[in-house]
Structure 1
Amino acid sequence: MKRSTSDRPLSVAVMMGVSVLTMSMTGVLASAAPSAPTEQNLADYIAAGRTGTPVAGSGSAGSSGSACTSGSGAGSGNGSGNCYGGSGSSSGSSGGYASDTVGYGPPMTSWLAAFGYGLLHPNAAPPGSNDWRCKPTTQHPRPVVMVHGTWMNAYNGFAYMGQPIKDAGFCTFTFNYGRANLLEGGGLGSVLPGVMGTGYIEDSAKQLATFVDRVLAATGASEVDLVAHSQGGSMSNYYTKFEGGAAKVENLITYGATHHGTSLDGIGALGRAINNFGIDILGFIEILVGHAGIQQTIGSDFVNKLNANGDTVAGVDYTVVGTRYDEITNPYALTFLQPGPGATVQNITLQDGCEQDLSDHLTILYSPRALSIALRALDPVGHPTLECAFNPWVIGGGGSL
């Protein structure tokens, strides 16, 4: 009860994986520098250059969506089809869609292996997810919706966590959102079939709203719990604030979420400051990384709107997990939230009490400790203890190499 208040050449996939690996290694090394900027330093710097003019683009809304084939999806017994579009956006090129998964991929303990599999099998579901016949129990009355991050997909986001959450007694669901091609502003990465979460975040939040409503209708539940990574966290937060999600979400559990944006080791913050002085450098970068990437930098219109009236909404319980080795959401404390009226927030640094967990932004979803945090938030009585295990950065290993 809510409280009142298309196959691609393998060489391309390998090159993409190497590029991500290189970026991750560079970010981790940079994160060890002693002079990392603070959130306030960055905020003050960006504010000094603000002109008050929008920076997302000035063009009219583009196409309303991509061509998308229909189908039943894996186990989708509700007959709703597997493709649904976004609503467009007020500026720049727009479009894209969300889709259901088709079939299942294998369980994975390594993020790097799962990422590669997800590139070659972009529509696969992670193990344990999307049994549309599943009905919540009295002990676990809320289905769990798992939300992937930028440049990832449902499979490689939750190939490790999906089955254990299902085995703990929860109905688990996930989907692919933000599927925008290059012409729709998805960035160069979107040419790879497994790269998703690149379209406008506002559109993705509407896609999440549609999916949650489908899950509620299929399961008969009145609320869901959300487990979300990176953009998936901030997008889910936007859903609770602006797309009616507050009445439908009990727990929001996020990992490395860009709730307050990111500096990308200072690069994003510098680009935002330059843009605010009238030089449209972010417009060029947006062509490379996509709409969602630019929207997640500190000081963006999206981030400002997301937090304008406080970090939280009444009636939602937040579990917010950050890692000291996060090379994407940095400084990593930007992920943490301050509770407003009617909300509870638990901010957790992954390494507190478990120094051997070296998870970075991408491998955090392959950490046994991160999994145990999710299970405790979902069912504190049944899963009160947090696990501690080594989890290597960049590769990820589910507790081992």
Structure 2
Amino acid sequence: MKQNARRAVFGAAVIVAMTVATALGGGGATADRQTAPTEQTLAEVISAGLTPAADGRQPQAIVDTGSGSGSATSRATDVLGEGPEMSAYLAAFGYGLLHPDSAPPGANRWNCTPSAEHPRPVVLLHGTWLNAYDTFSYMSARLARAGFCVFAFNFGRSTLLEGGGLGPILPGRYGVGPMEDSARQLSDFVDRIVAATGAAQVDIVGHSQGGTVANQYLKFDGGQGKVGKLVTYGATHHGTSLMGIATLGRLINNLGVNILGFYEPIVGHSNIQQAFGSPFYTRLNAHGDTVPGVDYTVVGSRYDEVTNPYDWTFLRAGPDATVDNLTLQAGCEQDLSDHLTMMYSPRSVSIALHALDPAAHPDLECAFNPWMLGGGGGL
């Protein structure tokens, strides 16, 4: 029993530590970009790569519709009680499993008053299968110490029966609901921040799906005019490959972690939406990548398993918008950050600080940051 539990936790850690790397993305070069992704096509692609079980049975991915109405739903919740500051992703992931609704350190101090130097509060948006704490337990504290009012919440919470897929079996695996719902949840959260702080606008820092949710908010849910700057890391701005999403089911099975038994369900509604060529992206980017009046800083890593090729994250500036597309390793080859550990990179933090306040933070830091583990500049 204990051995099986350890395998399950280890497998879950690898799965999430590869970022939804599997839940979202490597293998973009082999994906069929012309086929609109559906739950059934995803199940078929997952099944094609599954290895037989020890007793010779061949597992099959299935579309699990649950016992509900079949329509995907989600909700958002506040994060409360600041968790400890962490310098490594795996440590933050472990804490997040036990404390899935903790606030990242320095965040959600609702009595924070924006200063003249930092008039816009900073909103932190996590990604798929992640939460506010395990994504931002390193960066949030540094932004707060630099004098920013920082806010975060957990969005896109959905159960397996509501269309959230496998992720919600583990505590703290959020960002699985429809991204349109998550953008509306973001809209409500921003309105609360503006009312509490008296600020005219906010800035947003988004990781992975968080960047895409921010774009949906800007374009369709009233965000234009309310956001001054958007800083994203490994954001799935243009989607990822169906083959990459399929890797999730293979990894779970081939690790021997059968959390739900011999048949594995699909990975959740937001993952289907984030596949390249989905109707979601057709609508999101129909009129260009950006909206007027926003300054974008877009960060990609050469070692990102999710947005692969990593330059899929980059944006093209439209009218009255500025875009700074940055490769994390440019000028800092020792930064080996992948999709998750880029949020635990000193260079990533310095990029955020520079984007939000270039006068006070003119220089970018460079430090070694290990792939998969993440160490805040060390092991």
Q: Normalising to structure 1: TM-score of the pair? A: 0.78
Q: What are the equivalent positions in structure 2 for 1:110-189 lying under 5 Å apart? A: 110-189=88-167
| Equivalent position to 1:262, from 217, 220, 240 | 240
Aligned residues: 331
CA contact (8 A) 2:21 2:339 kept: no
1:20 aligns to what SS in structure 2?
helix
CA contact (8 A) 1:262 1:269 kept: no
Q: Distance in 2 between matches of 1:96 and 1:199?
A: 5
Q: Hey, what does 2:225 align to over in structure 1?
A: 247
CA contact (8 A) 1:318 1:345 kept: yes
2:33 aligns to what SS in structure 1?
helix
Q: Hey, what does 1:17 align to over in structure 2?
A: 13
Identity of aligned residues (%): 60
Q: Does 1:359 align with 2:337?
A: yes
> 1:320-370 CA deviation, whole Å, 9 max, x = no partner?
000000001111110000000010000000000000000000101000000
Alpha-carbon distance, 1:287 to partner = 3.9
Q: Hey, what does 1:314 align to over in structure 2?
A: 292
Alpha-carbon distance, 1:46 to partner = 2.6
Q: Distance in 2 between matches of 1:343 and 1:258?
A: 19
Q: Distance in 1 between matches of 2:84 and 2:230?
A: 26
Q: Hey, what does 1:212 align to over in structure 2?
A: 190
Give the letter aligned to residue 195 of structure 2.
A
Q: Hey, what does 2:179 align to over in structure 1?
A: 201
1:149 aligns to what SS in structure 2?
coil
Alpha-carbon distance, 1:263 to partner = 1.7
Q: Hey, what does 1:343 align to over in structure 2?
A: 321
Q: Hey, what does 1:86 align to over in structure 2?
A: none
CA contact (8 A) 1:269 1:297 kept: no
Alpha-carbon distance, 1:177 to partner = 0.4
Q: Compare relative contact order (CA 8 Å, sep 6+) and give the higher one, 1 or 2.
A: 2
Counterparts in 2 of 1:221 and 1:367: CA distance versus 1, 3 Å: same
Q: Normalising to structure 2: TM-score of the pair? A: 0.82
> 1:129-158 CA deviation, whole Å, 9 max, x = no partner?
000000101111000000001000010010
Alpha-carbon distance, 1:26 to partner = 8.7
Q: Distance in 1 between matches of 2:323 and 2:173?
A: 31
CA contact (8 A) 2:316 2:323 kept: yes
CA contact (8 A) 1:187 1:286 kept: no
Give the letter aligned to residue 366 of structure 2.
C
Structure 2 spans left out of the alignment, 5+ residues: 41-68, 248-262
Q: Distance in 2 between matches of 1:224 and 1:26?
A: 29
CA contact (8 A) 2:87 2:375 kept: yes
CA contact (8 A) 2:20 2:128 kept: no
Q: Hey, what does 2:201 align to over in structure 1?
A: 223
CA contact (8 A) 2:156 2:179 kept: yes
Two-structure CA RMSD over aligned residues (Å) = 2.6
Q: Distance in 1 between matches of 2:227 and 2:352?
A: 15
Q: Distance in 2 between matches of 1:337 and 1:153?
A: 25
Alpha-carbon distance, 1:267 to partner = 3.6
Alpha-carbon distance, 1:102 to partner = 1.9
CA contact (8 A) 2:28 2:244 kept: no
| Equivalent position to 1:235, from 213, 237, 252 | 213
Give the letter aligned to residue 297 of structure 2.
T
Structure 1 spans left out of the alignment, 5+ residues: 1-8, 58-90, 271-284
Q: Hey, what does 1:78 align to over in structure 2?
A: none
1:46 aligns to what SS in structure 2?
coil
CA contact (8 A) 1:110 1:397 kept: yes
Give the letter aligned to residue 200 of structure 2.
S
Alpha-carbon distance, 1:312 to partner = 0.3
Give the letter aligned to residue 240 of structure 1.
L
2:190 aligns to what SS in structure 1?
helix
| Equivalent position to 1:96, from 31, 49, 74 | 74
1:187 aligns to what SS in structure 2?
coil
